[in-house]
Structure 1
């Protein structure tokens, strides 16, 4: 086989993976099942196979020991795919690993300071639809000037993301800071990906499939709220819910 036609059997590349947090306040499987059923409204594909990190840091004192096999099966029943456990106590570790789950400390690496020379944009995770080369500012802001197509994922690590063109259905924007779309936002936008609760999402025309700030998210299968659909809109996190406001109004919707 000639060198020019040789293809490596495997290649490892850095990718950005977003997982939802399943925060347990009880280990009672019946209560968890009832809560998930109410949350999803019985819709079988509500989560669409999303990766999930099980967070046990908020379990009530004196909770019964977690039945990991049943808990994993329950999450999979609702099409969540558990991959790790966060805030596990030492006595949980062996059993967690025996069920093939990783341990997540919840700690994140601080982003490296920007180099004095212009940074080279990283390729998006999706190889099928590469992103246009973004401009990265000194403050860590990433700027995208071209449309973001279905299947593309753009991640602004450690800063804000600004998109000047349309974001199509099936596209995904991720930023550790805020997301600004000076056009129509049709796809998914996940701001505050590193846990920044004061991050916001802005769009001149808001029609998203999913919005998330610091892991709190909402989906819009039935369409974005009519009062703000296709309008200049901002999204912020208030407590444990996403708050929708007009960009031109300081009054909460």
Structure 2
């Protein structure tokens, strides 16, 4: 009998919610050649600056673009600069589907509060106190 069959899963791991702070790269063009040139010009003199830095690709400025970014190429480019691209947000449905296909997770859009956060704020708000009529 194997030891692994006797160990309950709850004693081996737990999944817990986590809030992480990550950099967001707000793309202004789907042109990877332009992005590669700009990254090299801005950060080429500081190799290792972003070593293993988690990154979310923000597509909100490209939402109305017809051209899909090459997400596989984008991920490879960002990794060459030390980033660890983990997620994408703000894109249209086609962009987000392409990002997911390239291995990026879908990050929530921070401009819209999560439903549970909005409910917590509403629950904490004091009730309106009616004004008394003047005599």
Shorter-chain TM range is 0.5 to 0.7
Q: Does 1:108 align with 2:113?
A: yes
Structure with bigger strand share is: 1
Secondary structure of 1:82's counterpart equals: strand
The answer to whether 1:75 aligns with 2:78 is: yes
TM-score (norm 1): 0.39
CA drift of 1:39 comes to 2.1
Aligned equivalents of 1:54, 1:71: Cα separation in 2: 9
Instruction: Return the alpha-carbon distance in structure 2 between the equivalents of residues 13 and 80 of structure 1.
Output: 25
Stretches of structure 1 lacking an aligned partner (at least 5 in a row): 117-253
Report Cα offsets for 1:169-223 as digits up to 9, x if no partner.
Answer: xxxxxxxxxxxxxxxxxxxxxxxxxxxxxxxxxxxxxxxxxxxxxxxxxxxxxxx
Quote the offset at 1:82 in angstroms: 1.1
1:84 aligns with 2:97: no
Matches within 5 A, 1:146-157: none
Alpha-carbon distance change, 45 to 108 in structure 1, aligned in 2, over 3 angstroms: farther
**Structure 2: how far apart are the matches of 1:105 and 1:60?**
15
Q: CA deviation at 1:62?
A: 4.8
User: CA 1:38 to 1:15, structure 2 compared with 1: closer, same or farther past 3 Å?
Assistant: same
Cα distance change of structure 1 residues 63 and 92 upon mapping to structure 2, 3 Å threshold: closer
Q: Helix, strand or coil for the counterpart of 1:46?
A: coil
Cα contact 2:50–2:81 (8 A) shared by 1: yes
- 11-20 or 22-31, which deviates more: 11-20
Higher RCO (CA < 8 A, seq sep 6+): 2
Relative to structure 1, is the Cα distance of residues 61 and 10 closer, same or farther in structure 2, using a 3 angstrom cutoff? closer
What is the root-mean-square deviation of aligned Cα atoms in Å? 2.8
Deviation at 1:13, TM superposition (A): 2.9
| Structure 1 residues 11 and 61, CA gap change in structure 2 (3 angstroms) | closer
Cα contact 1:24–1:59 (8 A) shared by 2: yes
How far apart are residue 29 of structure 1 and its match?
A: 1.0
Point out the structure with the larger helix share: 2
**In structure 2, distance between residues paired with 1:19 and 1:29:** 22
Q: Which runs of 5+ in 2 are unaligned?
A: 125-135
